[in-house]
A and B are shown apart, each in its own frame.
Chain A
Amino acid sequence: MSSGTILLVEDNPDDEVLALRALKKAQTKNDVVVTRDGQEALDYIFGKGKYNGRKPSETPQVIFLDIKLPKLNGLEVLKNIREDTRTSLIPIVLLTSSDEERDMVDGYKLGANSYINKPVDFDEFIEQVKVLGRYWLGFNKTPH
Chain B
Amino acid sequence: MLTKYKFSIKYLPIKKKLSLIIMTSALLAVILLSSVFTVYEYVALRNSIIKEFSTTSKIISNRSHAALLFNDAATLQENVDSLKIHDDVEATCLYNEANDILAFFSKGLMSKQNDNSKASCPTHPSRNLNHFDDQYYQVSQAIIVDNEPMGILYIKVSLQSLHNHLYNYVIATAVFSLIIILAVFIFSSYLQNFITTPLLLLKNTARQVTKNKDYTLRASKESHDEIGDMVDTFNEMLSTLQEQNKTIIDDAESLELKVGERTKELAIANQELEAFSYSVSHDLRSPLRAIDGFSKALLEDYGHELDHTAHDYLKRVRKASQKMGELISSLLQLSRVTRKELKDTHFDLSSMIMSIVHQLQEQDPERIIDIQIQPEMYIMGDEQLIEVALDNLIGNAWKYSKYEKFPKIEIGYFVENGHTVYFVKDNGAGFDNKYAKNLFTAFQRLHSPEQFEGTGIGLATVFRIIQRHHGEIWANSILDEGATFCFTLYDNRPQDDESKSFLTGKNPDIKPNKPVTDSKNN
Are B332 and A122 interface neighbours, CB within 8 A? no
CA distance A87 to B286 in the complex (A): 30
Within 8 A of A (CB), among B312-350: 318, 321-322, 324-326, 328-329, 332
CA distance A120 to B327 in the complex (A): 11
Are B282 and A122 interface neighbours, CB within 8 A? no
Are A97 and B281 interface neighbours, CB within 8 A? yes
CA distance A56 to B342 in the complex (A): 46
Query: Which of chain B's residues has its CB closest to A103's CB?
Result: B278
The answer, among B277, B290, B325, for a CB contact under 8 Å with A121, is B325
Taken residue by residue from 486 to 497, chain B's Cβ proximity to chain A (1 for < 8 Å, 0 otherwise) reads as 000000000000
User: In the complex, what residues of A have CB within 8 A of residue B419's CB?
Assistant: none
Query: Known: A120-B321, A120-B322. Contact between A100 and B278, CB under 8 A?
Result: yes
Are A120 and B281 interface neighbours, CB within 8 A? no
Are B296 and A120 interface neighbours, CB within 8 A? no
Taken residue by residue from 93 to 128, chain A's Cβ proximity to chain B (1 for < 8 Å, 0 otherwise) reads as 000111110000000000000000011111101000
Query: Which of chain B's residues has its CB closest to A14's CB?
Result: B290
The verdict on A15 contacting chain B, using a C-beta distance below 8 Å, is yes
The verdict on B16 contacting chain A, using a C-beta distance below 8 Å, is no
Taken residue by residue from 270 to 311, chain B's Cβ proximity to chain A (1 for < 8 Å, 0 otherwise) reads as 000000011001100111111011101100000000000000
Query: Known: A12-B286, A119-B325, A120-B288. Contact between A18 and B293, CB under 8 A?
Result: yes
CA distance A103 to B122 in the complex (A): 141
Query: Known: A21-B297, A99-B329, A99-B332. Contact between A120 and B278, CB under 8 A?
Result: no
The answer, among A14, A68, A121, for a CB contact under 8 Å with B294, is A14
CA distance A123 to B299 in the complex (A): 12
Smallest CB–CB gap between B283 and chain A, Å? 8
Taken residue by residue from 29 to 47, chain B's Cβ proximity to chain A (1 for < 8 Å, 0 otherwise) reads as 0000000000000000000
CA distance A125 to B326 in the complex (A): 15
Chain A: how many interface residues by the 8 Å CB criterion? 19
CA distance A122 to B300 in the complex (A): 12
Within 8 A of B (CB), among A1-60: 12, 14-15, 17-18, 21
CA distance A15 to B291 in the complex (A): 11
Are B282 and A96 interface neighbours, CB within 8 A? yes
CA distance A15 to B329 in the complex (A): 19
Are A118 and B289 interface neighbours, CB within 8 A? yes
CA distance A96 to B278 in the complex (A): 11
User: In the complex, what residues of B have CB within 8 A of residue A118's CB?
Assistant: 285-286, 289
User: In the complex, what residues of B have CB within 8 A of residue A100's CB?
Assistant: 277-278, 281
Query: Known: A12-B286, A118-B289, A122-B289. Contact between A98 and B281, CB under 8 A?
Result: yes
User: In the complex, what residues of B have CB within 8 A of residue A119's CB?
Assistant: 289, 325
User: In the complex, what residues of B have CB within 8 A of residue A12's CB?
Assistant: 286, 290
Are A99 and B281 interface neighbours, CB within 8 A? yes
CA distance A123 to B325 in the complex (A): 14
User: In the complex, what residues of B have CB within 8 A of residue A125's CB?
Assistant: 289, 293
Are A98 and B282 interface neighbours, CB within 8 A? yes
Smallest CB–CB gap between B513 and chain A, Å? 36
Are A15 and B281 interface neighbours, CB within 8 A? no
User: In the complex, what residues of A have CB within 8 A of residue B282's CB?
Assistant: 68, 96-98
Query: Known: A99-B329, A99-B332, A120-B325. Contact between A18 and B289, CB under 8 A?
Result: yes
Are A14 and B332 interface neighbours, CB within 8 A? no
Smallest CB–CB gap between B320 and chain A, Å? 11
Are B278 and A14 interface neighbours, CB within 8 A? no
Are B289 and A120 interface neighbours, CB within 8 A? yes
Are B278 and A15 interface neighbours, CB within 8 A? no
Query: Which of chain B's residues has its CB closest to A19's CB?
Result: B293
Are A123 and B296 interface neighbours, CB within 8 A? yes
Q: List 30 A-B contacts (CB under 8 A).
A: A12-B290, A14-B287, A14-B289, A14-B290, A14-B294, A15-B286, A15-B289, A18-B290, A18-B293, A21-B293, A21-B297, A97-B281, A97-B282, A97-B286, A98-B278, A98-B281, A99-B329, A99-B332, A100-B281, A120-B288, A120-B289, A120-B292, A120-B322, A120-B326, A120-B328, A121-B292, A122-B289, A122-B293, A122-B318, A123-B296
| B residues whose Cβ falls under 8 Å from a Cβ of A | 277-278, 281-282, 285-290, 292-294, 296-297, 318, 321-322, 324-326, 328-329, 332
| A residues whose Cβ falls under 8 Å from a Cβ of B | 12, 14-15, 17-18, 21, 68, 96-100, 118-123, 125
* Complex A-B, nearest 10 residue pairs according to Cβ-Cβ distance, in ascending order: A120-B325, A14-B290, A122-B293, A18-B293, A97-B285, A98-B281, A122-B296, A120-B288, A122-B292, A68-B282
Give 11 A-B pairs besides A15-B290, A123-B296 with Cβ atoms closer than 8 angstroms: A14-B289, A14-B294, A17-B294, A97-B281, A97-B282, A118-B286, A119-B289, A119-B325, A120-B288, A120-B292, A122-B318
